[in-house]
Amino acid sequence: NQSLTLSGKKILVTAGGTRESIDPVRFIGNRSSGKMGIAIANAAQEAGADVTLIAGQIDSSSEINSSINLLRVESTEQMAKAVEQNFDATDALIMAAAVADYTPSVTSQQKMKKSENTRSIFINFKETPDILKTFGSRKTHQLIVGFAAETQNLIDNATKKLNEKNADYIIANNVNETGVGFGSDDNQVTILQPGHEPQKWAKMSKKLVAEKIIKLISNQLLQGD
């Protein structure tokens, strides 16, 4: 049955943007809508998988299938913890979330006040844990899929990520191109896999991209059975 190729498999998906707190009312975030990750979670669930979706900030217009186990998080650190709790049992980790690379070194416990004579302020940032890299290096049987949103040198940068993060696939997309990427319903991606030439897919809906990614993963996971 084509529609239930992933039955008995556990798939862990992250989606959306993280928020890193500056103080109780302010944060640093990004423009991710979560649409691509949600589409992947839905496609995996429709293929019969047992899906856990770890979501940061997402666009409320995207529907999440009701049988998906949804965990909401805010920061990169919380997302890392949620992945940690689910990683061992999972067959594939798909990191579609737009994760902050840096977080404020200190989060003020009180709302920061504007002061009269201050014309500029500085916020110090520290590195966040690289979730994909951490779990790429810890994988045993898990398939690891990452995304690379780039504004330049797409293939070079994505190839670097494939290697550095020990991923099985990197889904690369150029976020400069109009009508694709952040917030849009369409995407144009290039698939990178160790030992294979990059495969450029045509521009299509995120739903279709998600279904094709799930098909790739199903084929790979079934080979291992």
**Which spans of this chain sit near ligand C5P (rule: CB under 6 A)?**
76, 95, 97, 99, 101, 128, 130-132, 146-148, 161
Q: Which is nearer to ligand C5P, 5 or 182 (CB)?
A: 182
Backbone angles phi, psi at 44, to 5 degrees: -65, -40
Measured from the CB atom, the residue of 49 and 95 that comes closer to ligand C5P is 95
Annotated binding residue at 161?
Answer: yes
| 159 DSSP β-pair partners | none
Q: How far is the CB of 100 from ligand C5P (least distance, A)?
A: 7
Catalytic annotation, pick one of 1, 30, 163, 173: 30
DSSP string, 10-21: EEEEEESB--EE
Closest CB 6 distance from ligand C5P, rounded Å: 20
Active-site residue 30, yes or no? yes
Concatenated DSSP letters for 86-147? HHTT-SEEEE-SB--SEEESS--SSPPPP-TT-------EEEPP-HHHHHHHH-SS-EEEEE
Buried-state track 100-134, b at ≥16 Cβ within 10 A, e below 16: beebbeeeeeeeeeeeeeeeeeeeeeeebbbbbbe
- Nearer Cβ to ligand C5P, position 51 or 148? 148
Query: Is 131 annotated as belonging to a binding site?
Result: yes
**Residue 101 among known ligand-binding residues:** yes
Give least dist CB 1 to ligand C5P, A. Answer: 30
- Residue ranges for the known binding site for CTP are 101, 111, 129-132, 147, 161, 165
List the binding residues: 101, 111, 129-132, 147, 161, 165
User: Which residues participate in catalysis according to the annotation?
Assistant: 30
